[in-house]
Amino acid sequence: MDISSVFFAIVTIVAVVSALLVVTCKNPINSALSLVLTFFCLATYYVMLDAPFMAAIQIIVYAGAIMVLIVFTIMLLNIRVDANKKSAHQLVLGSVTGVATLLLAGLLLTRGKLAEPVCNITTEMINQQGHTQLIGKVMFTEFLLPFEVTSILLLAAMVGAVILAKRKLS
C-alpha cells in the first residue's frame, strides 16, 4: 500500500464523516462548517486528479463565496436549534431512498463497463502547459456560447435576489 492510497483513504474518511455531520448536526452553523470541511476534501480530490484549477475555484467559489452567503443567512435569520420534531416515517423513507440510491450506484459501478479514453490529455501535458490554460482554451472556443449564457444567468440571479429579499414598501 503506497503513500497515495493511504492519503486517499484519510481524505475519504474525513469527507464521509464531515458529510454525515452535515446531515446529523442539530445546529445549522455546525452543519455549515462541516460542509466547508467536505468542500476542502473535494478540493483535495481535484488536486489528486490533476485538476488544480478546479480545486482553486472549489475553494474560492464554494468554500468562500457560497458558504459565506449561507452562514450569513443563518446568522441573519437567527434560527433556533430546531426542536426535535422529526417524524419517524420521514426518517425511515428518507433513509430507505438514500440507501437505495447508494445500492443503485454500486450496481452500476460493478456491472458497468468503463469507456475507453477519447483524447490524450496526460499528466505531463497538464504539468507542462498548465491546467488553467488548457481549461481556458476549451472554454473560450468550444464552450463560448454557454459561457456567455452563464453571464446572463448570473445577472438574472442577482436582480432576482435583490427583488426577492428587499422588504415591501408599504
Partner 1 sequence: MENLTNYLLVSAVLFSIGTIGVLTRKNAIVVFMCIELMLNAVNLTFVALSRHLGNLDGQVFVFFIMTVAAAEAAVGLALFISFFNNRESIDIDDANLMKW
Show contacts with partner 1 in window 60-99 (CB under 8 A): 61-62, 65-66, 69-70, 73-74, 76-77, 79, 82, 85-86, 90-91, 93-95, 97-99
Q: Which of 3, 145, 164, 169 binds partner 1 (CB under 8 A)?
A: 164
The site for partner 1, by CB under 8 A, has a size of: 82
Q: Which of 6, 10, 127, 154 binds partner 1 (CB under 8 A)?
A: 154
Q: Does 157 bind partner 1 (CB under 8 A)?
A: yes
Grid coordinates belonging to 134: 488548457
Residues 13-52 within binding reach of partner 1 (CB under 8 A): 15-16, 19-20, 22-23, 28, 31-32, 35, 38-39, 42, 45-46, 48-51
Residues 130-149 within binding reach of partner 1 (CB under 8 A): 134-135, 138-139, 142-143, 146
